[in-house]
A and B are shown apart, each in its own frame.
Chain A
Amino acid sequence: DAGVTQSPTHLIKTRGQQVTLRCSPKSGHDTVSWYQQALGQGPQFIFQYYEEEERQRGNFPDRFSGHQFPNYSSELNVNALLLGDSALYLCASSFSNPSSTQYFGPGTRLTVL
């Protein structure tokens, strides 16, 4: 049973560019959440997707957007990259009920130069 997978593993971009990160949830899970983890910090909630819609959003600007596909996989898009966007981006999958445990992928390390 495959767990949560993310691609790519690492990514280097320059300021102003756009990036797309991908996530495949654990088998059976229908909900995907995205987190940003800066170096030395805990993860910060970006947003959660369920039934192909954004269900809840954290305190992140509109430059951060996402999508969920019918097979429950998800993408995170970041436009107009800033140096401060450099971080580990984590995807977590779960069932739809709020008390469901979230299982995290290994993350995508984004470096913005």
Chain B
Amino acid sequence: TQLLEQSPQFLSIQEGENLTVYCNSSSVFSSLQWYRQEPGEGPVLLVTVVTGGEVKKLKRLTFQFGDARKDSSLHITAAQPGDTGLYLCAGHPSGSARQLTFGSGTQLTVLP
């Protein structure tokens, strides 16, 4: 059983469209991180959300941490082909401060 569930698993959209990716858990996390991974590369950290209800913006990307700190979302406005990649959420489960647990990822393809 995956501790962090991501949806959708695959997403293919046209350039200019908006999209939202979800990361859900039944467990409380002290923080959640979002990464993007491109083929042949390791994951690259986009953002860390720490406080319940927190919203962070990174250009056209908006990240939100749920009030109960069990879920998070990533919203992309006016997607571009350069946004294509595997989006991963990750966090440290309670009692495992050093073990980073990842979701299964959302593979996003933005078509020109």
Which chain A residues have a beta carbon within 8 Å of chain B's beta carbons? 4, 33, 35, 40-45, 48, 55-56, 58, 90, 92, 98-99, 101-107
Contact = CB atoms under 8 A, between A and B. Distances in A.
Given A45-B101, A104-B42, 13 more contacts: A4-B42, A35-B102, A40-B104, A42-B88, A42-B105, A43-B88, A44-B102, A45-B100, A56-B99, A101-B48, A106-B40, A107-B41, A107-B42
A96 B87 CA distance: 26
Interface stretch (B59-67, B68-76, B89-97): B89-97
Interface of B: 4, 6, 31, 40-45, 48, 88, 90, 92, 96-105, 107
Contacts of A106: 40-42
13 contacts: A35-B102, A40-B104, A42-B88, A42-B103, A42-B105, A43-B100, A43-B102, A56-B99, A102-B45, A104-B42, A104-B44, A106-B41, A107-B40
A44 B4 CA distance: 12
Nearest to B9: A40
Main SS class of interface, B: loop
Contact of A98 (B88, B90, B97, B101): B97
Contact of B98 (A41, A56, A107): A56
Which one of A4, A43, A44, A106 has the highest number of Cβ atoms from chain B below 10 Å of its Cβ?
Answer: A43
B102 to A, nearest CB: 3
Contacts of B107: 40
Nearest to A31: B98
A38 to B, nearest CB: 10
A58 B101 CA distance: 10
B6 to A, nearest CB: 8
A55 B98 CA distance: 9
